[in-house]
Amino acid sequence: MIIFPAIDIKNGKCVRLIKGDFNRATEYDLSPIYQAKKYFENGFNNIHIIDLDGALNGRSVNSGIVKEIIKNDKLKIQIGGGVRTMDDISAWIESGVDKVIIGTAAVKNINLLEVACNKFKNKIAVALDVKDGFIALSGWKENTQILVSDFVDKIKNLGVSRIIYTDINKDGTKQGPNLKDTIKISSKIKIPTVISGGISSIEDIKKIKLLNYPNIEGVIVGKSIYDGDVKISELAKLI
């Protein structure tokens, strides 16, 4: 199972939101570049990065910071936030990221998703940001009436390499992940699925590892690292 420590960037700094609310953002002193270096030095090669400004604006805003992180070619970066066009996807692929995460654009334009998956094999991940069973878009500002279960049925055969399932009601709360719904969705598809939102402790991660579901590829850990509830050195022992 892959453990993805997270870096969410807003205004050039590491931040964490609570339930996707930009008015409840916690800003941290460490720069995204330093944080990525810290993860790497502790043995993490896979890092989850979201350009929150990009998600809100519909275009990459913090690409300079991310490209500085990518200079370490031993890192496998999955990047999302503001990816809306084939040009956006191509630019990130060319810069050396491992996977490009498409969220809003994938839901609004399935044809774009299909074309991207065909052109960039094993490089396209889809973010399913879910609130009460429905998908949310545009930095979680736009709620839809699209059931996540219906949407995964539409994309299950397009060649998506990874699903990142985030329960918005859990994200940033450190109240434990929504394993039930994530596993339910992952069981409907053959796409490797990553659990995101609510991780509160090392024990949460150990529990996920013990589940040993074949379709659960990994877990994203964010706020609990920044707040000190999960020590990076301890987390590294689970890699």
Residues tagged active-site: 8, 129
3-state secondary structure the chain: CEEEEEEEEECCEEEEEECCEEEEEEECCCCHHHHHHHHHHCCCCEEEEEEHHHHHHCCCCCHHHHHHHHCCCCCEEEEECCCCCHHHHHHHHHHCCCEEEECHHHHHCHHHHHHHHHHCCCCEEEEEEEECCEEEECCCCEEEEEEHHHHHHHHCCCCCCEEEEEECCCCCCCCCCCHHHHHHHHCCCCCCEEEECCCCCHHHHHHHHHHCCCCEEEEEECHHHHCCCCCHHHHHCCC
